[in-house]
Structure 1
Amino acid sequence: MTYPPPGSGYPGPQGPYPPAPPPAPPGPGYGSPHGGGKTNGLAIAAFVTGLLGCFGVVGIILGAISLGQIGRTGDRGRGFAVAGIILSCLWIAAGITIGVIAANSDSSGGSGAAPSATRTKPKEVDAQKMKVGDCINDNTTASAPSTAEPVEVESVKIVPCTSPHDGEVMAVFRLSGLTMPPESQLRQRASDGCKIRTRSRISRDPAANSLANSYYYPTDESWRSGDRSVTCVAVAANEGTKLTRPLAR
């Protein structure tokens, strides 16, 4: 085995190899998601439509189309598109909610609505079915003070307490006994029972001095059918005068 003579060596970098080529000019490279590219026009339109809220589902449609375009082209504006879809959905949900509330308010009359004709129209009921708090008109002298002659009453009209009325029902109670007492005794028991049950409330009313006590009590026929109810009614003390408001509670 031999070695090359001293000084001969191997060719160095300045030997027979050609020089390196100059660097190539920079190419276009790859796009960055945070730079370059235009903002998608439909995405902006979807956002503006969603802000306005008066175009219904248009914002949703524009946002969906723009998201598809952005996925293909790499344009910016994805946030605008998503925001436009969300805002449009919120506007639609708010509109539906308001519509439902308005429909329920219309069907129930609303707490601040004026009374309808159906609710304020006088309602005729059997005299035995009057309840405490009812304001009545009976078109007879039965609602006059208890000194008047009794008149048989079959029905009365329930009317609003804010309109002119003959009386307001203050109490209802039942008489005891199987046998109907004489007319005078029956009237006395009814009168005494009503005075006891209504005295305190009538005395609290600002117009107590202009009020009187009246009552309805069973007739011979209704007693035989089981009627024992006495209905106590506050009326105006002056005959022919109407009440125009509910009495103090």
Structure 2
Amino acid sequence: MYLIAAIVAVGLIIWGIAALAGAGRKPAVDSTAYAKGDCFVDFDAAATSGTTVECSQPHSAQLVGVENAPAEEAYPGREALEQRAGQLCKAPDIKLPENTGNLKQSSAYPSQEGWASGDRRMDCYIVTTDGNTLTASFLH
């Protein structure tokens, strides 16, 4: 009987620790559903989904800019899309800390094939090179 109680107690402790470790995390989100202001744990720009958290929780990236080009716009080319996506990280509502040595900008934009399939979305992320060490939003 004591053995069963001990096993149950250990199980509850493990469950509690696992629940606390995931506190603030939301289920994985498809990359097409990312929204401006989302903060990500273990961000991977090439992934088709990511785990979002409240920006007050430790995270490694934040989506700070989104633009959707008009459906009738002709494909402007990779370099033009890269430049447009990069400009999204220079919006006036973005406030970076004084020391930005551990931050970089990461942009996402459609390929020519994606554009032909109707993808017109450009994103710009601020990403830390130090892992999940950010604990505030860059948007103000």
Give 1:135 deviation, angstroms. 0.6
* Residue-by-residue CA offset, 1:136-171 (whole Å, 9 max, x unaligned): 14653x3xxxxxxxx4x4222212323332201212
The two structures have a TM-score, normalised by structure 2, of 0.63
2:25 corresponding residue in structure 1: 121
Structure with more relative contact order (C-alpha pairs < 8 Å, separation 6 or more): 2
Structure 1 residues 245 and 174, CA gap change in structure 2 (3 angstroms):
same
Q: Distance in 2 between matches of 1:234 and 1:178?
A: 27
Cα distance in 2 between the residues matched to 1:244 and 1:196: 19
Give 1:232's aligned residue.
124
Higher share in strand: 2
Sort the Cα spacing of 1:221 and 1:207 in 2 relative to 1 into closer, same or farther, 3 A: same
| 1:52-111 C-alpha deviation (Å, 9 max, x unpaired) | xxxxxxxxxxxxxxxxxxxxxxxxxxxxxxxxxxxxxxxxxxxxxxxxxxxxxxxxxxxx
- Superposition map of 1:1-249 within 5 A: 120-137=24-41, 139-140=43-44, 142=45, 151=46, 153-176=47-70, 178-191=73-86, 193-197=87-91, 201-203=94-96, 205-208=97-100, 210-236=102-128, 239-248=129-138, 249=140
Deviations 1:170-204 (A, max 9, x none): 1211235533233233212211x213325x5234x
Bigger radius of gyration: 1
Q: Provide the C-alpha distance between the structure 1 equivalents of 2:103 and 2:43, rounded to a whole number of angstroms.
A: 19
**Amino acid of the structure 1 residue aligned with 2:94:** R
For 1:130 and 1:124, the matched residues in 2 are separated by 10
Figure out how many residues of one structure are paired with residues of the other and give that number: 119
Paired with 1:172 and 1:186, the residues of 2 have a C-alpha distance of 12
What TM-score do you get using the length of structure 1 for normalisation?
A: 0.39
CA contact (8 A) 2:37 2:137 kept: no
- AA of the residue aligned to 2:55: C
Structure 2, unpaired ranges of 5+: 1-18
After superposition, the CA RMSD in angstroms is 3.0
Q: Which structure dedicates a bigger proportion of its chain to helix?
A: 1
